[in-house]
Structure 1
Amino acid sequence: MITVEHLSKTYGDVRAVDDITFSCRPGAVTGFLGPNGAGKSTTMRVIAGLTPATAGSTAVAGVRYHDIPNPGTQVGVLLDASAQHVGRTGREILALGATTMGLPMSRVEEMLELVSLTPSEAKRRVGDYSLGMRQRLGIAHALLGDPKILILDEPANGLDPAGIHWMRSLLRTYADRGGTILLSSHLLHEVQIIADEIIVIGNGRIVAQGTKAELLQSADTFVQAADASALANALTSAGIASTPSRDGLTTEASPEQVGKAAAAAGVALIELRPADGAGLEEMFLQLTTQSQRDVITEGDQA
């Protein structure tokens, strides 16, 4: 479990984190969302013992990170996949980690296989790795000590779609086995798929937190039919406004209202569900409007 209580961090006159409190429970993936500069990375660095707090406290499994004996076997941390020795090979970096943690070298081979770094890739220097390969190596290092807690900052950066799907499955399995995961990511759709709980931070303060269901309960509805025109007419006739979205329509009406309108008009639906991804993106933008670097106003060109 990860707990953060009344945490604040100030750099000079800048208050990067402002009195935030939250917890991450075992068996769950907690998505940590916010615009650039919102305080996500600073918070994670404080939890991992890399940055001292100005006020408040953080604990991992009930104790401060610095007080954990052999912390790599208890907490896996990936905050910057590029912060690896570029002159060493991937296998060397994992071997050094295993030696430091007192682990058998067989663990290195297990992790290389787990993250799909081939023997030839493991022999290459990290300076020649792509960002996606560095992410895989960073995840391997975080998991090397078989920790019960993971703290991951943008782990999907540089991964291709197949890599993102792999990472999603890996983390889901980890959480389902009782692990605790704090995950920061700008990929809102991926967070929507994998997260059990969500924390949204803006200007150093938490603006929303709760389960995914709680935060998205007012999300829009996505609907798709074989006859898109007939569906649009059915919704309009029922007084339901809608907008085109991907291969269907999105509306603020509930799935039940949309289903009844379509049934009354004899329109067969292909898909009817909460517009999860769009709902999370819309919620995120609404909650963090004041802390967005790029604000699009009416009349701005795309």
Structure 2
Amino acid sequence: MTGDDRFAVPHAAVAADVATALAEDIGDGDVTAALLPDAADTAYLLCKEDAVVCGRPWFDACHRRLDPDVAIDWRVAEGDRVVAGTVLATLRGRARALVSAERTSLNFMQTLSATATATARHVEAVAGTGTRILDTRKTLPGLRQAQKYAVRVGGGHNHRMGLYDAVMLKENHIRAAGGIAGAIARARAASPDLPLIVEVETLDELRDALAAGCTRVLIDDFDAAARREAVRIARAAPFDGRIPLEVSGGVDLDGLRAIAQDGVDCISIGGLTKHVRAIDLSLKLGPAPG
């Protein structure tokens, strides 16, 4: 993935996400903001803990949807690492609009920064091993493109976006087809242009998948000894490392480097997007401190 691809913004998703979120929060009018004078004011965005910044496009879109003339001056770039107490941005616009957009814009920033920050920690844990960190489809409903964008900002890579852009054969598909070779043949015939990922549960299934040919093999819940043997098999003749191995299941940050050092190509981690602990941010009216 190139640097440009990493920060490629899903503009249609941003617009749709923001429209839905603002409608959910504001409904037919912000009755509390209506108590404020509709005058020009300033605000600043404060990060209260160490984090990887992510979500600027969603934050900007929230405020510009309510006040097209709002001025937003970012002091940090998307993907920057910041320390607690950093002022991320200053804003100048209509007071009512600033307040009405506050919670929704923060919800996006704190959630996406959380995903980017968690991803960056996992990427750091495998640095130098050549192993890539992947996300999964275990995303917050309605925020898949946003969270997968945040994974990229954090230095990770995207697995399939959904059920439409890659074929992934699991136990039920293999059983229905009578075996891995049959399942792969069906998948190739039905979707010849899509990536094909095959999940295996034993070393014999691994050999079958490698022999039949696919884009990637997912070794699910293998113990350390079986995982190392899987790497040996995949890299030895006649397979010669042509098909990458992905690990999934039972992965935590503490054990991540050991798995990577076994020689697997990818590790997919659902926790990057489903175990989200929001980054502590606040938006305050008035001039920024300092």
Length-normalised TM-score, structure 1: 0.30
Greater share of helix residues, 1 or 2? 2
Greater share of strand residues, 1 or 2? 1
Length-normalised TM-score, structure 2: 0.31
